[in-house]
Amino acid sequence: MTSYLARRAGQMVLTLFLIVTLTFFLVQAQPGDYATFYSLNPDIPAEAREQIKASFGLDKPLWQQYLVHMKNTFTGNFGVSFGHYPRPVMEVLAERLPRTVVLFLSATAVSFYVGFFLGKAIAWRRGGVLEYAATISGATLFTAFTPAFALMMIWIFAFKLGWLPVGKFLDPLIWRGAEVSANHVFSYMLATAAVFIAFAFLTLLAARKLGRLGTGRMPFLVIAGGAAVIPIVWAFTGVGYLALDILRHMILPIATLTLISFAGTMLLTRNSMLETMREDYVMAARAKGLPEKVVRDRHAARNALLPVITSLVYSLIFAIDGSVIIEGVFSWPGTGMTLLEAVRSEDLPLVMGSMVFIGLFSLLAHVIVDVLYVYLDPRIRYQ
Amino acid sequence: MIERPPNQPPPAGEGVSLFGDAPEIDLSRGRVDLTLVRLRMAWRTLRDGWAVFVESRIGVLSLAIIAVFALMAFSHPILMATVWEPDVYDPVTGYAFDRFDHPAPPNWRHPLGTDSLGRDILSQLLFSAKSEFILGITAALVTVGIATTVGAVAAYYGGLVDSLLMRLADLIIALPGISLLIVLSALFNLNLFYLALIIGVLGGFGGTAIILKSQALSIRVKPYIEAARAAGGSHFHVIFVHIIPNLLPLSLLYMMFTVTGAIFAEAVLSFLGLLDIRMSWGIMIHTANVGGYLLSGANYWWLVIPAGASITLLCSAFYLVGRALDEVVNPRLRRHDG
């Protein structure tokens, strides 16, 4: 296991190296010069200009620039953003990365669960109304023009019905008198979510260890109790209304991203289930007289899960791209929107920085899926 | 095939016998027969495949949708040449002089209304259909051309070639395509052709190559490959005559998915205003969005719904045709055996 992980980590570093190289040479290959972008910006004072030039080695030949760029990137120095001058790129991205991660992780988790659930249901009852409805609506959502669909969601839920805010990360009117920063509250929210997930996981683990006592509704009641404690604790901190405001802004982007990405998992699960359902062990399970639900969930669906996990890489990349678009439309200030903003204002250091971060993000997702697959399938050994 | 005695030169020409009374050996006729047999077999495969394809109603419906869009693409130049005067109906530079309230709602002269710049929406819609087809088909052909060759070569040679090509594919899969295209559009002027080429190359060396390689691996171990090698076929001959033709059904399937991806990517980039394209469905929505008409909902529906629905319909039609083809190519997904 350790050697497998070490090799995967090595591959990841190599791939990241290639991505950084690619972005560097793409920027070099564009018409115009990277150096002039810095020196022509009138906002940058002369001394700072010289300092930046030296730190990037912009007066040296290309291969030396490349080496310096490589060193700077891997030590976390992406330079200074033009659009957010004088903040370093790293600081801008560090502030925005958690927001993207939350948006992406929650949407992926929900869409994977929904997709898997629907996929096994429509494979089990082939040819029913549900199959046609789910396939057509799923494929339509999957191929729906994401920006237009997101705008439609905004129009329905934020504009017409007025249930949710139109976009952005928070409502300035509510935050006007607040003494804490948004990132401060958001990091506490993240901590709460992490604690809750750990609590739910431990409860389920304990329920399994307890045997008969832990079956039935008991563990779910405990988890629900834990969930009920969270709002009470937040109410005492005094910033609960601020957290609620951020939460309200999160709902619509996450729901939209979920809706556009669940169909991929659903259609894959359907195909995988159709293949699994022909296996002998499914017939054996039926012949034993097990209830249909047990045959479906315990015998067929668990084995059908493996190919779906393999293809999860594709849906993860799809969701990362989707979150870039969604962030742009909802003005959700994450990495994706940073990339779009930077591209529009030709903020090259920020473009390179966010591209590297998005690449790193998808690489991490890729590796996690690989490790998960090896963990789920005992037939695969770590080599 | 016709047996030829060993150590003898082949017959010099048609009807010329080297052995006096020996029966005439007509090589070319044998060839023609073989071609006929092959054609007949291909026809039968096609017919059987079509029978399976027709069974999926969604697939047939999607094919019909694609046909309608193709008709739309063909109708635009005809309409421009006959009924529509270019000053009014040109998709980019036209201006509807007969109305003053742009964006004008649908009326008799403009069946889908006009946009905020006074241009006819239907004309834009039909004009864009053509460029979407050009984009999608170019990207799909490039993808499948590269992916089939890469897959076959990697499976056939194995070893270093295989690992190099597959690591490259892994790298490309890990890259988020739309984000990369956004970065590229910031640095270079992307037009339709370059966009198709980039999408095609990324797809061809990426995921599609891996899938086609796994199929090529199962073809590589078939006895007829060994037979072809034993009969003296070169590597080139084996790859291009024996492996690639057997990969083509699966390639066709992935062409469909590439078309979906290409049209989608173009629409997103156009919507963000990052492409150097005269007119497309994405640009139509971009124009409406920039003018602030999108959040007025149903009041200005003709600015958004035709273009948005076209993108969704054409993308999902290609995707669902791909799904239906999947059932033809992969017998394990079929409802009945056979």
Mean pLDDT of chain A: 81
Residue from the list A135, A145, A320 with its beta carbon closest to the beta carbon of B176? A320
Which CATH number belongs to the domain containing residue B319 in this structure?
1.10.3720.10
Indicate whether B189 belongs to any domain: yes
Q: In chain A, which residues have their Cβ closer than 8 Å to the Cβ of B311?
A: 145, 148
Tell me the mean pLDDT in the region A256-267.
85
What is the average pLDDT across B155-176?
A: 84
Contacts of A362 in chain B (CB under 8 A): 174-176
Q: Is the ipTM of this complex over 0.85?
A: no
The pTM of this model reads 0.78
CA distance B97 to B95: 6
Nearest to residue B200, comparing CAs of B149, B152, B135, B275? B135
Distance CA B221, CA A48 (A): 64
Over residues B213-261, the pLDDT tens digits come to: 888 888 888 888 889 889 888 888 888 888 888 888 888 888 888 898 8
What pLDDT was estimated at residue B13?
A: 44
Asked if B164 reaches chain A (Cβ–Cβ under 8 Å), the answer is no
For residue B18, tell me if it sits in a domain: no
Examine residue B180 and state whether it is found in any structural domain, yes or no: yes
Q: Does B184 touch chain A (CB under 8 A)?
A: yes
Grouping H, G, I as helix, E, B as strand and the rest as coil, residue B293 is coil
Those residues whose C-beta lies under 8 Å from the C-beta of residue B112, and which sit 6 or more positions away, are B106, B120, B121, B122, B125, B302, B306
Residues of B in contact with A278 (CB under 8 A): 332
- Alpha-carbon distances of A140 from A170, A347, B256, B320, rounded to whole Å: 31, 36, 16, 10
Is residue B284 within 8 Å of residue B335, measured between CB atoms? no
pLDDT interval class at B71 (50, 70, 90): very high
* B235-263 residues labelled b (16+ CB within 10 A) or e (exposed): eeebbeebbbebbeebbbbbbbbbbbbbb
A126, B334 in Cβ contact below 8 A? no
Does the residue B320 lie in any domain? yes
| pLDDT tens track for A54-88 | 766 666 777 888 888 888 888 878 877 777 777 88
Question: In whole angstroms, how far apart are CA B116 and each of A21, A129, B96, B184, B310?
Answer: 44, 42, 11, 30, 20
pLDDT digits (tens, 9 = 90+) for A114-149: 888 888 888 888 777 888 888 888 877 877 788 888
- pLDDT of amino acid A37: 60
Q: Please indicate if any CB of chain A lies within 8 Å of the CB of B299.
A: no
B179 at interface of A, judged by CB pairs closer than 8 A: yes
Q: What's the pLDDT at B149?
A: 92
Asked whether residue B264 is assigned to any structural domain, the reply reads yes
Q: Is residue B30 part of a domain?
A: no
Q: In chain B, pLDDT over 70 holds for what percent of residues?
A: 88
User: Quick one: tokens of B8?
Assistant: 């003898």
**Is residue B199 assigned to a domain?**
yes
φ/ψ of residue B184, rounded to 5? -60, -40
pLDDT at B64: 93
pLDDT digits (tens, 9 = 90+) for A236-249: 877 777 888 888 88
The whole-angstrom separation of Cα B140 and Cα B315 is: 13
Q: How many helices (H) and strands (E) does chain B have?
A: 13, 0
How confident is residue B145, by pLDDT bands cut at 50, 70 and 90?
A: very high
Contact B28, B14 (CB under 8 A): yes
Tokens 């899938």, residue located? B211
Assigned domain for B33 exists: no
Say yes or no for a CB contact (<8 Å) between B178 and A26: no
**How many structural domains is chain B composed of?**
1
The parent domain of residue B77 ranges over: 57-333
The reported pLDDT for the residue numbered B11 is: 46
- Taking the CA atoms of residue A255, residue A261, residue A266 and residue A267 in that order, the dihedral angle to the nearest 10 degrees is 150
Q: What is the pLDDT of residue B67?
A: 94
